[in-house]
Structure 1
Amino acid sequence: MSFYGLEIARTGIYVNRKGLEVTSHNVANASTPGYTRQVLNVKSIPPSNQVGIYDPKFQVGMGADVQSLVQIRDMFLDMQYRNEYSRQGEYEIKADNLNFIESIFNEPSDTGLSSVIDQFFSSLQELSKNPESLTVRALVRQRASALTDTIHKMYKQLEDLQSELNDQIYDRILDINSIAHQIADLNKQIFILELRGEKANDLRDQRNLLVDKLSKIVDTQAYEDSEGRFIVQISGETLVNHFTVYELETDKAKIKRLSGFDSNDQPTNFDPDNALSQQNLYDVPGLFVVMWKDTGQVLNVKSGELKGLLDMRDGIGGIDEDLTVNGQDIDVPNKNNFTGIPYYLNRLNEFAKKLIEKFNELHTQGYSLNGQNTGINFFEPPVDSGNFFFARYIKVSDDIMNDLNNIATTTDPDNLPGGNDLVVKMLQLRNDTSIFREGKFEDFLKSLISNLGVDSQGAKNFAENQKVMVTQLDNRRQALSGVSIDEEMTNLIKYQHGFQASARMINAFDEMLDVLINRLGLVGR
């Protein structure tokens, strides 16, 4: 008889004790975010190779040994989850901001642009009936001011939203750099621990949780190479390579805008040589370009919250912007086909531009109520040197604001004060289908609001669908990697009984050895 039986029982105690420790650790972290279930990798110890100890046909293994402590993860599921999580982040941003733009236009409502322009034309209808009435003229001026104020308000709200999104982009870049440094720091800790033969599973969980968080901000790929170096890429470019972080930065200096403003902060000059480096003609000043700090190369974002923010901030909706400044025709090519804030800024400017041009073209042909003044603009042209920012600066002309008599109603001074032929022509603008490619003023607004509604609902549907898909993928991940209390309780009983059985084996061998050592050879004493 040998001591091999004791050694086998000892390995059983060790393995089952480690199993109880792992089970306890799993249960303790059942609610820990990002925790991955751990299991023992146990292997039987083969029989001894010592010659002559046992007949080969009677050889028995030497017990069990813990080979490693492994995490139960599926890298393919992780990759799927992160890809879809990134798309969810993108469409949630788009859905929220398109919904906010809908609230800016506020259609249909009594304060929406459609209602305000309807009220303006209604006041002109009253003016056509009573051209000489100062009360009606005051109503026309008031309704015209309400129209320009509404356009101003919408335009300002869109610009404020664009500035806010720009700030959010800056914050996301700070988040990306911060997460990258945290991952690199964890890489060092994991590498050092595992170089010593330890298993850094809990640190790996922290790292995977950071990668998940990063994937919602920007499209992310992460993998460990054959040498144990952990690499994180965003938009196909390396962000973290083992211990090295390649930071992103934001740079305002890359944005060129209109140069030259008058005392009223109105643009007076446009630099065509630098125009192509800006995102869009109507952008607010100071928009950030996102680029790699070491190379200066612009980050080409493919999905994630950052993609949603950039599309909303920069998307011109496939429209190439054309303008004429200082006698030069300048084309500002589109760089982002998504229908974002610049698209709606552009359409508001188009609406205001046509409103100014059409009404001024007619009104300058008429005469004031006293018949002495002609050539008066109904709306104040914003600038003489270009055809941009109409919505920001549109207003009723100072001549009309200062004197109701300057509202022209006729092109023939002999018909004063009751002539209304000019007002009739202005009223006809309401049904002029040649003003916009969509048709008349109301058609333009209906088309704009309809397209906005379709885009907003589409983004909302995409966001909801992505949320469902991400939830399903996360449930699959949790089913594989998460802690099941029922399963752990089963393991607890298994390891507990295994420990007890191994201990009883030691007791049994102890009794056998006691008989062998202390009781044999006592016969006849």
Structure 2
Amino acid sequence: MSLSSSLQVGVSGLTTSQSALNTTAHNLANVGTKGYTRQQVVMSDFAYQKWGVNHISTLQTGLGVDIETVRQVRSMFYDKSYRTEAGRQGFYQTQYETVQEVESMFGETEGVAFQDSLNDLWTSLQELAKEPAAIEVRASLLEDAKSFLERADNISKQLSDYQVNLNQQILDKVNTVNDIANQINNLNKKISLYESNGKEHANDLRDERNNLLDELGGIVNISYKENSDGVVTVMAEDMPLVTETETYKMGVAKVNESSDLLKPVWTAFNRDVYRMDLPISTENNTDIGSLKGLLVSRGAAKANYTDMPVKPVKTASMSDTDYQAALNAYDDDVKEYNSTVNVSVIMTVQAQFDQLIHGIVTSINDVFSPNKEVTAGGKTFKVLDTDNAPYGMDKPNYTQGEALFNRKSVPRYRDPDMSDPAESLLPAGTKIYVEEDPDNIYSLFTLGEIEINSEISNNYSKLPLNSGKGTAGVDQKSADKLLALWKQPFAAISPNSLAVSTFKDYYTNFTGELANRGNELNNTSQNQATMVKNIDDQRQAIAGVSSDEELTNLIKYQHAYNASSRFITVIDQMMEHIVTRL
């Protein structure tokens, strides 16, 4: 090898050592930078000069060292695991936050507890049973009933408002997904251009892109791959989000035409982002992403007591075939409840709470204004039971049939329709009960549609607790029925529970179930957070910068640089010696 070739060997050592020093310094400068990936210089032989062959091998001389690449030290396996588990943690954390918000509305841990309104109503009914004729006791009942209904209505409105307000959070996350997709697409172009010569590596740009993928993985379920040009394509919820050339945006649309609730959709593909009919499970990866967590906890509609399946009771007039058909329909309703209502925190609370209010309101009404079934013209009607209904104290009418709670838009009773052959056969003065229709919300005794009877509110004496007109005494039987309401079984907290509770126990079970649900979601979220941290720690053990290791590399490359410099100095001295001796 000539001396000039030897100089080139030394120069290659200087340049590679200098590049390694620069890379090490860059690592040290980013020790505390979040998302930074440690860079590593990979060196290789530059070339060899063949100068002979012997019987064993080719005789050749190395021409120096070269930098093969400056690579990022990352684990693709840990990256994928981190993004999947971070998305799962976001799914459960979002639902836990919803439970916390809902719990605060009932004020059981702080503020004005709804339990107090329930107890006040019960206490007023007890006092009424003791002194049914006392006007002041009746006035107290009216006030407590108003307070009870106002508090329940306020909670129901807060639930509905919160449900609608989650639209903004959903919209924000959809906008974030679109923004991240655009940034990844722009970074793809920059990285591809920067690395087009096949030698340079845009490692800092890759760090920025990886940080975006981390953030995106917490919002939606993603998969991704990188092609030979350094371009990453991203699939979100099994649909393309970022391709090699463009991005496909998410949008929002109404759940249905009559709803105020929004859902994410793929605008380019005219389809929903999520299939909400699929069961939530870790095995199927349907529990990933804070965006889906918002949708699940919010639900797709406002729920009420009609969404709670009621198990049929076999009556004497019901055949075995009809009863079995009713049971099959009930089983279908339970499946529908579990797949739509029960998975949603807000819808479950709305349905269960409304069931309690409906039960209390209708039970009290049925004491003050009882009904019975009569048959006329082959039809069965539910009418005011004038034989057992108590009377008011208002003179001279002694009103009968006034309920404590009314529907805002639909009266409790209507007069017979004389154009109907069957109804025309009913006795004069018959009051036909207007049945509740699940398809007509205005006909339901549901929160938002209930009010205190204005007739009773304006005249306490119209509260029916007399056994007859005129000087008749107090209807103690009706007063006792009011007390019995709080002691008799009412309903199960859900169709998945066999235990039937009283009103008071129902509310206790209701708040307990909500607290348990929150505890389960919090535990799952905390476990996921721990798993995410462990995965990230292992990821950082590979990708993170160790100052001790980098300082060691710094010393190593400094010595290599000095050695190359000394090598060049020796070659220079040799050349000087030869030239001066010529």
TM-score (norm 2): 0.78
Contact 1:130 1:418 in 2 (8 A): no
**From 297, 318, 325, the counterpart of 1:312:** 297
Cα distance, 1:27–1:320 mapped onto 2, change above 3 Å: farther
* Equivalent residues in 2 for 1:83-102, closer than 5 Å: 83-102=84-103
What is the aligned partner in structure 1 of residue 574 from structure 2?
Answer: 512
- What CA distance in whole angstroms lies between the structure 2 residues aligned with 1:435 and 1:463? 32
Cα distance per residue 1:42-86 (max 9 Å; x no partner): 012343135599x97764322211011110011110000000100
- The answer to whether 1:2 aligns with 2:2 is yes
1:448 aligned partner, one-letter code: F
Matched position secondary structure for 1:131: coil
What is the aligned partner in structure 2 of residue 347 from structure 1?
Answer: 352
Contact 1:238 1:246 in 2 (8 A): yes
- The answer to whether 1:363 aligns with 2:349 is no
Matched position secondary structure for 2:84: helix
Cα distance per residue 1:371-427 (max 9 Å; x no partner): 611110110124446344611232221112111112222343467454433121111
Contact 1:380 1:396 in 2 (8 A): yes
- The answer to whether 1:471 aligns with 2:533 is yes
Cα distance per residue 1:88-123 (max 9 Å; x no partner): 111111111101211112336784333322211111
* Equivalent residues in 2 for 1:382-461, closer than 5 Å: 382-384=408-410, 386-387=437-438, 388=441, 390-413=446-469, 416=472, 418-435=474-491, 438-461=500-523
Cα distance, 1:406–1:140 mapped onto 2, change above 3 Å: same
Contact 2:220 2:237 in 1 (8 A): yes
Cα distance per residue 1:296-342 (max 9 Å; x no partner): 1111273111011001110789x98379xxxxx99995553413211
Cα distance, 1:126 vs structure 2: 1.0
Cα distance, 1:2 vs structure 2: 1.4
**From 282, 307, 322, the counterpart of 1:321:** 307
Contact 1:109 1:115 in 2 (8 A): no
Q: CA RMSD in A?
A: 2.7
Greater alpha carbon shift after TM alignment, 308-317 vs 6-15: 308-317
Cα distance, 1:426–1:140 mapped onto 2, change above 3 Å: same
Cα distance, 1:15–1:109 mapped onto 2, change above 3 Å: closer
Matched position secondary structure for 1:233: strand
2:165 aligned partner, one-letter code: E
Matched position secondary structure for 1:232: strand
Cα distance, 1:190 vs structure 2: 1.0
- What CA distance in whole angstroms lies between the structure 2 residues aligned with 1:180 and 1:417? 78
Cα distance, 1:250 vs structure 2: 0.4
Cα distance, 1:223 vs structure 2: 1.5
Matched position secondary structure for 2:118: helix
- What CA distance in whole angstroms lies between the structure 2 residues aligned with 1:411 and 1:435? 30
Matched position secondary structure for 1:459: helix
Matched position secondary structure for 2:401: coil
- What CA distance in whole angstroms lies between the structure 1 residues aligned with 2:186 and 2:157? 44
* Equivalent residues in 2 for 1:84-123, closer than 5 Å: 84-107=85-108, 111-123=112-124
Matched position secondary structure for 1:32: coil
Q: Percent identity?
A: 30
Cα distance, 1:242–1:85 mapped onto 2, change above 3 Å: same
What is the aligned partner in structure 1 of residue 240 from structure 2?
Answer: 238
Cα distance, 1:401–1:320 mapped onto 2, change above 3 Å: closer
Cα distance, 1:50–1:286 mapped onto 2, change above 3 Å: farther
- The answer to whether 1:293 aligns with 2:267 is yes
**From 204, 207, 211, the counterpart of 2:206:** 204
- What CA distance in whole angstroms lies between the structure 1 residues aligned with 2:7 and 2:514? 78
Cα distance, 1:503–1:193 mapped onto 2, change above 3 Å: same
1:368 aligned partner, one-letter code: G
- Give aligned pairs, total: 486
What is the aligned partner in structure 2 of residue 180 from structure 1?
Answer: 181
2:449 aligned partner, one-letter code: Y
1:380 aligned partner, one-letter code: N
Cα distance, 1:320–1:78 mapped onto 2, change above 3 Å: farther
Cα distance, 1:58–1:50 mapped onto 2, change above 3 Å: closer
Cα distance, 1:135–1:417 mapped onto 2, change above 3 Å: farther
Cα distance, 1:35 vs structure 2: 1.3
Cα distance, 1:320–1:224 mapped onto 2, change above 3 Å: farther
- What CA distance in whole angstroms lies between the structure 1 residues aligned with 2:210 and 2:358? 53
What is the aligned partner in structure 2 of residue 276 from structure 1?
Answer: none
Cα distance per residue 1:114-172 (max 9 Å; x no partner): 33222111111111222222211111111111110111111011111101212111111
Cα distance, 1:226 vs structure 2: 4.7
Matched position secondary structure for 1:289: strand
Matched position secondary structure for 1:432: coil
- What CA distance in whole angstroms lies between the structure 2 residues aligned with 1:397 and 1:67? 86
What is the aligned partner in structure 1 of residue 383 from structure 2?
Answer: none
- What CA distance in whole angstroms lies between the structure 2 residues aligned with 1:360 and 1:33? 64
Contact 1:218 1:307 in 2 (8 A): yes
Contact 1:216 1:304 in 2 (8 A): yes
- What CA distance in whole angstroms lies between the structure 2 residues aligned with 1:501 and 1:96? 61
- What CA distance in whole angstroms lies between the structure 2 residues aligned with 1:498 and 1:338? 64
Cα distance, 1:289 vs structure 2: 2.2
Cα distance, 1:220 vs structure 2: 1.7
Cα distance, 1:7 vs structure 2: 1.6
Matched position secondary structure for 1:251: strand
- What CA distance in whole angstroms lies between the structure 1 residues aligned with 2:574 and 2:192? 48
Cα distance, 1:322–1:140 mapped onto 2, change above 3 Å: closer
Contact 1:124 1:140 in 2 (8 A): yes
Matched position secondary structure for 1:243: coil
Greater alpha carbon shift after TM alignment, 406-415 vs 84-93: 406-415
Matched position secondary structure for 1:34: coil
- What CA distance in whole angstroms lies between the structure 2 residues aligned with 1:450 and 1:226? 56
